[in-house]
Amino acid sequence: SRICVITLAEAHPLLQSGKTIKNINYQISANCSRLQNKVSGKSKRGAQFLTELAPLCRISSSDGEEYTIYSCIRGRLIEVNENILSNPALLQEKPSTEGYIAVVLPKFEESKSITQGLLTQKEYEEVLLKRRSSAP
CA 76 – CA 15 distance, rounded (Å): 27
Q: Which of 36, 117, 33, 28 is nearest to 70 (CA)?
A: 28
Residue range(s) defining the domain that contains residue 107: 4-134
Q: What is the count of structural domains for the chain?
A: 1
Residue 133's pLDDT band, with cuts at 50, 70 and 90, is confident
CA 84 – CA 98 distance, rounded (Å): 8
> Model pTM?
0.83
pLDDT in tens, 27-80: 998 888 898 888 888 777 888 999 989 999 999 998 899 999 999 888 999 999
* CA angle (114 as vertex; 54, 26 as ends), nearest 5: 25
User: Are the CB atoms for 71 and 50 separated by under 8 Å?
Assistant: yes
pLDDT in tens, 99-113: 999 999 987 777 777
CA 67 – CA 56 distance, rounded (Å): 11
Q: What is the CATH number of the domain that holds 126?
A: 2.40.50.100
Q: State the pairing for strand pair 55-61/49-50.
A: unpaired
